[in-house]
Amino acid sequence: MSRPFPYTFISCPCADTPVPDPARTRRSRESPRKPTAEPPTDPDHHKSNTQQADEVGQSDEEDDEQTFDPRSPRSNFSLYPPEQLLYCEDCHQIKCPRCITEEIVSWYCPNCLFETPSSMVRSDGGRCGRNCFNCPICTAPLTVSTIESVTGNASGHGPWVLSCGYCMWTTLDLGIKFDKPTNIRAQLQKMTDSTPATGYDARSRQGSRAFADLKSPLSNFASIDEQSTATEREAEREASNEDASSIPQLGAEARFAALKNFYRTQISETSNSPNDPLSSEFGFSSPGALNRLMSLYASSSRLSGLYGGNKKQKSKPPVMREALTAAEGLRIGSGDSDTAIIERIVSPECGWDGVASMSQRTDQSPDVRFVDELLPLPALLRTKRAKRCRSCKHILVKPETKPQSTRFRIRLIALSYIPLPTLRPLAQPAMSPVTPTASTPDLNALSPLRTYHVLLTLKNHMFDPVRITLATPSVTPGSVATKVTVLCPQFEIGANSDVWDEALQNATAPLSDRISSMRGGEKVPEAGKVWEKGRNWTTVVLEVVPGTLPGMNTEDGETEAEPGKALTLQNDEDILEIPVFVHMEWDAEAQLEQQNVGKASKPDDLVARELAYWMVLGVGRIQPY
Amino acid sequence: MPPKAAKSEYIETDTGNKISRRSQIHGTQHIILGGKTVIQAEAVIRGDLYRQPSTATSLDGSNPAPAPHAPSVAITVGRYSYISKSAVLRPPSRLHRGVHSYYPLKIGDHVFVGELAVIEAASLGNHVHVGTGAMVGSMAIVKDYAVILDGAVVPPGMVVPSWCVVGGRPARIVGEVGEGYGVEGAEGGMARERYRLVGKPQ
């Protein structure tokens, strides 16, 4: 989601952890000045500060890795909006979605909001087992409605259909009607498997029994030639059978089940030793299967020369066969089915619209090619997930299991620990004769080389007062060099108090606002002074001078926009993003194990804490002229 | 002579609702505003589409006679909800047993409805954000802390679960909001600030 200006992102420190480069740290130690703006001491320090800023800007060039660059490809993976970040109380660190692990608390259907027990999730294929379906054409949810509802008589019975309220598709397009409005998924399954479920079971069992006779001699002789001929013969017989009936025997799901069933019985029957690993439930994917295959290759290579005359029957592993009948899951494609499909695609009544799109086909059976073969899709389940810190495994977020509940048992979000940054432009006083009245600048069109004042409010959600130090590179990284000065880089934010105090505060808030708005005309941002301060928030001013975009000529005052040059701007170079380094310190109540450590300098139960991170302030877009 | 400047853009009610004089609100007796609700200019709120008390005989009566009992509620809006410019709130309707009837539209607290959005949902939960130009179809249910992106079309009858972000036409679930969504002052929790800024001189 792109956000409108102004926005703030916070960089999770995890992006920097895997790059411990000793050379880099040494260089930073040697560098004469840190890129942090010094705390101004006197009112006219501001001017000298900007001068310093220029110098720092020079020395900054080689120090570039030290400051955070919001445009570097790496920062794509560390910048998050504040509300997405968590905080681990044990690591004392911000945690982003990359430094947590998730585990599923519950599964639920997003449509009916019913929880699916985790034992049912697999058998249902991760989809809702009730009445929730998505339209195969447009993915909108389908509603169960009766055909008779229009006429008004006898609602409550009559055939039911699934209909899409978005694209007006109904299951009537497939000729599917349901007898009752409940348990649609089972009804649909029964319809799409052309053989009824009970009959299929009996037949498959019967079929495998019939072929068990065939199988036992095969596994004894284990002659590949014989088996293949037998297979061919069998296949021909089957094919002729199928031609006679010319109906596909099983639906896709039933065929899959049949094949699975068939292979399982094959494995159990061809394994002659009772402790053969393949006979176990794990099947081919178990490590025992590899053993078996290895021994098979080893024996065959040793005996390859005297294959026919081999007398060691015992060392020879039995050979499995493939599915032979439709009941076992065999399906033989007819040769002209492809041409039939092509003819149908070409035919005028099918056309472009009649062919299912790739996205429509992804969730369907692989044979489906046309729109009128698409079946309604049961709604995919969603999950509620608990989140753990990746390094210390402590739970950071644990939602309640009930799908409808929005509450959490545990929720350690970063916003309860780090101050919430909000950004807002300060109304411009009459800077030039062109704009005589104060007006809030248009953040989507910041004019270059003009001084803007931006108010950065940090709101503390902790119950301890916090000391903040802000630092910015004096010139923003990237090809557009914008000068940034934090007018008051060091300040305190008061403690958050309980809700009742806040309510009282809110009652008086409009008053203070009115005062500030009254004074807004004459209030001038001053270096070293906090702009405004509330109970648990503090506002400071950032002075921003947007740089000129590359390809603009501003030397002689007249600006020219060259369309060709403007195109050379790399993507979003004109967006003004300011990296700000935030360092916060506070005295927290010590937890049990830390009491001994921090007792030397602090009173009994207080321990000094600090946290530092980068954030990025998206101020606006620089106007290209 | 300049026009009377005293008349401000907003009418502020006893419960703190700020309603633009240029909004179009029909059937006010069928609308409940929870207080501190903001309704911007050119917003259309169709309280006149309330459920007729007698479903069978409603068609013949030329004038929908006021019900003897309390008037049925067509639209409920919670506290600190914000209806932007040119948004439309319409109670959902459904054909039930051959009769076309309207159902109440419930909007929770701290809800933001973007400009030009059309809401026909059965309910919008608390802290729901509806983007600019989005369309929420008839009888849709949007649960708490859901986000509907700009220009999305939520199909009729869709349920948007909590914490989900939906977008596209038709809308699908495209993501989830973070756990901190809806914290006061952060994304999803700007309702009080938004309310305070309404009607203040720039």
pLDDT tens digit string along A420-458?
Answer: 888 888 876 545 444 445 567 777 778 888 888 888 989
N-terminal to C-terminal alpha carbon distance within chain B: 24
pLDDT tens digit string along B67-85?
Answer: 455 568 999 999 999 999 9
Residue A385 has pLDDT above 90, yes or no: yes
Q: How confident is the model at residue B127 (pLDDT cuts 50, 70, 90)?
A: very high
Peptide bond into B170 cis (omega under 30): yes
| Closest CA relative to residue A139, chosen from B171, B146, B176 | B171
Residue B14 has pLDDT above 70, yes or no: yes
pLDDT tens digit string along A12-53?
Answer: 887 666 544 444 444 444 444 444 444 444 444 444 444 444
Residue A577 has pLDDT above 80, yes or no: yes
Name chain B contacts of A164, Cβ cutoff 8 Å: 155
CA distance A58 to B134: 49
pLDDT tens digit string along A450-481?
Answer: 888 888 989 888 888 889 999 888 888 877 88
CA distance A206 to A33: 86
Residue A560 has pLDDT above 50, yes or no: no
- How is chain B split into domains, by residue range? 10-50+71-197
Contact criterion met (CB < 8 Å) for B186 and A111: no
pLDDT of residue A38: 41
N-terminal to C-terminal alpha carbon distance within chain A: 28
Residue B107 has pLDDT above 90, yes or no: yes
Selecting from B97, B185, B188 the residue whose C-beta is nearest the C-beta of A152 gives B97
Selecting from A404, A422, A427 the residue whose C-beta is nearest the C-beta of B185 gives A422
Topology given in CATH for the domain delimited by B10-50+71-197? UDP N-Acetylglucosamine Acyltransferase; domain 1 (2.160.10)
Hey, is the C-beta of A169 within 8 angstroms of any chain B C-beta? no
- How is chain A split into domains, by residue range? 23-80+419-621, 129-192+340-378, 197-270+316-334
- The percentage of chain A sitting over the pLDDT mark of 90, rounded to a whole number, equals 10
Selecting from A112, A413, A509 the residue whose C-beta is nearest the C-beta of B183 gives A413
Q: Which residue has the higher pLDDT, A322 or A232?
A: A322
The shortest C-alpha distance from A80 to chain B (Å) reads 10
| Closest CA relative to residue A296, chosen from A275, A281, A276 | A276
Mutate to test the interface with B, among A8, A155, A166, A512 (most CBs of B within 10 A): A166
Range with top average pLDDT, A179-193, A554-568, B65-79: A179-193
pLDDT of residue A218: 40
| Closest CA relative to residue A374, chosen from A387, A384, A385, A360 | A360
Range with lowest mean pLDDT among A294-303, A430-439, A510-519, B43-52: A510-519
Q: To the nearest 10°, the Cα dihedral for A556, A557, A563, A569?
A: 90
Residue B161 near residue B141, CB atoms below 8 Å: no
Hey, is the C-beta of A15 within 8 angstroms of any chain B C-beta? no
ipTM of the complex: 0.86
Q: Which residue has the higher pLDDT, A190 or A162?
A: A162
Residue A238 has pLDDT above 90, yes or no: no
For the record, the structure tokens of A272 come out as 């002659």
Mean pLDDT over each residue of chain B, to the nearest integer: 86
Residue A266 has pLDDT above 70, yes or no: yes
pLDDT of residue B2: 55
Range with lowest mean pLDDT among A132-136, A549-553, B40-44: A549-553
Residue A21 near residue A508, CB atoms below 8 Å: no
Q: Which residue has the higher pLDDT, B98 or A281?
A: B98
- pTM of the predicted protein model: 0.74
The shortest C-alpha distance from A83 to chain B (Å) reads 4
Range with lowest mean pLDDT among A222-226, A542-546, B23-27, B122-126: A222-226
